Amino acid sequence: MAQPQPIAAPPLDAALIAAWRGGDEQAAGELVRRHARVLARFLAGAGAREADLDDLVQETFIRAFRAVDRFRGQCQFRTWLLTIGGNVLKDHGRRMGREKTVPLDEQLRARDGDPHERAEAGEAEAKLVAGLKQLPRLQREVFLLRAQQGLEYEEIAAALDTTAGAARVHYHHAVKRLKEMMG
Amino acid sequence: MNEKDDATLHDATLHALAGKLGEQAATRLDVEATARAVVERLRSEPAAAGWSWMQPNWLRIAAAAVLFVGGALVFRQVMSGGADAHRPAHFVTDDLRDLSADQLREVLSTLDETLDLGRHTAPEADLENLDAQQLRAVLRSLEG
């Protein structure tokens, strides 16, 4: 009777990054599989159109892999990736020469539940997205990293090269302004 | 939950809403296709992608260097120009005040020979007729 094989723990991001630095393309692919959805959520929350999402996710990973030597583990790879995503989205908006458009009708539409509740939830989220568009970029990103991604202030601060106190201030300003705009 | 009736939206509600942002769009992303596309791009366009990322940084560094050097030159020019503007004019002739008429003629003739100033000065013979004050005036006119 064959002995059950121990299940190998998935490699840590650090191991995959080291493998990519050594030229292992499959490690890069695994990092994409691991973080693409989270990155897509962040980009969509920050105002990316769903039609642009795949291109933006790809571009973010390409930039991250090119610049991976600058990643020294100051924060999680995923958090670092999200901040690069913010830069990619900003460049994309500038290149398109237009305001970032949010596909409210596509990405915010709840697909389950009571139609009345669905409409209310969609309306609240639409207000939130509209409010986020009005925020300065740093406030918006800190809010998303905190409220959408659930990160600690220390982690946010390390990714954005600021202090935890400053991140906390940005978050509270963002919340205050969003409440005013949505109230 | 009805946010329309709630003027003071609670933090928890805001968090819950934020937590759902982009959920549907992210679900529809074809992660496997994205991973393949990224690997393919890494393989096919390594140099171009690297350069396009580096280019803005190098341009910024170059622009900063040009501004620094240009600024330093302008600063130096302004400082030296400003110093000259406030410095009273100084003529070499003033330093020759103690020379006699003969010595002044000798200086003038030397200048005439070495700098080819003949067109500006009187013929050497005419210098003989000038006194010391007139010779100093000639020398001063040569200084501009």
Query: What is the per-residue pLDDT for B122?
Result: 44
As given in the structure block, the two tokens for residue A83 are 């901040």
At B89-124, the pLDDT tens digits run 566 666 677 777 777 777 777 665 555 544 444 444
- Does A63 touch chain B if contact means CB atoms closer than 8 Å? yes
Q: Do B22 and A182 touch (CB under 8 A)?
A: no
Instruction: State the virtual CA torsion across A131, A163, A69, A140 in degrees, nearest 10.
Output: 0
Answer with the residue of higher pLDDT: B5 or B143. B143
Q: In whole angstroms, what is the distance from residue A177 CA to residue B70 CA?
A: 44
The candidate with the shortest Cα–Cα distance to A17, out of A32, A36, A7, is: A32
Is the CB of residue B132 less than 8 Å from the CB of residue B100?
yes
Query: What is the per-residue pLDDT for B86?
Result: 56
- What domains are there in chain A, each with its CATH number? 13-182 (1.10.1740.10)
Q: What are phi and psi of A116, to 5 degrees?
A: -65, -45
Q: Which residues of A touch B29 (CB under 8 A)?
A: 36-37, 40, 53-54, 57
Those residues of chain A that have pLDDT short of 70 are 1-7, 98-121
> What Å distances lie between residue B106 and A119, B131, B135, CA to CA?
107, 13, 10
Query: What is the per-residue pLDDT for B92?
Result: 63
Query: What is the per-residue pLDDT for B137?
Result: 79
A20 CB burial (10 A radius; 0-12, 13-18, 19+): buried
Q: In whole angstroms, what is the distance from residue B111 CA to residue B96 CA?
A: 14
Q: Is the pLDDT of residue B126 over 70?
A: no
Query: What is the per-residue pLDDT for A92?
Result: 93
Is the CB of residue A35 less than 8 Å from the CB of residue A78?
yes
At A40-79, the pLDDT tens digits run 999 999 989 999 999 999 999 999 999 999 898 889 999 9
Query: What is the per-residue pLDDT for A106?
Result: 46
At B26-81, the pLDDT tens digits run 999 999 999 999 999 999 976 454 445 555 666 677 777 777 777 778 777 777 66
Query: What is the per-residue pLDDT for A110?
Result: 41
pTM above 0.95, yes or no: no
Q: Which residues of B touch A114 (CB under 8 A)?
A: none
As given in the structure block, the two tokens for residue B89 are 């004019």
Domain ranges of chain B: 31-86, 92-143
As given in the structure block, the two tokens for residue A85 are 């995503």
The candidate with the shortest Cα–Cα distance to A57, out of A26, A74, A34, is: A34
Q: In whole angstroms, what is the distance from residue B15 CA to residue A69 CA?
A: 34
With bands split at pLDDT 50, 70 and 90, how would you rate the model's confidence at B140?
Answer: confident
**What's the one-letter identity of residue B88?**
P
Q: Which residues of A touch B48 (CB under 8 A)?
A: none
Smallest CA–CA distance, residue A121 to chain B, in Å, is 8
Is the CB of residue A90 less than 8 Å from the CB of residue A37?
no
Across chain A, mean pLDDT equals 86
> What Å distances lie between residue A56 and A90, A113, B23, B117, CA to CA?
10, 31, 16, 76
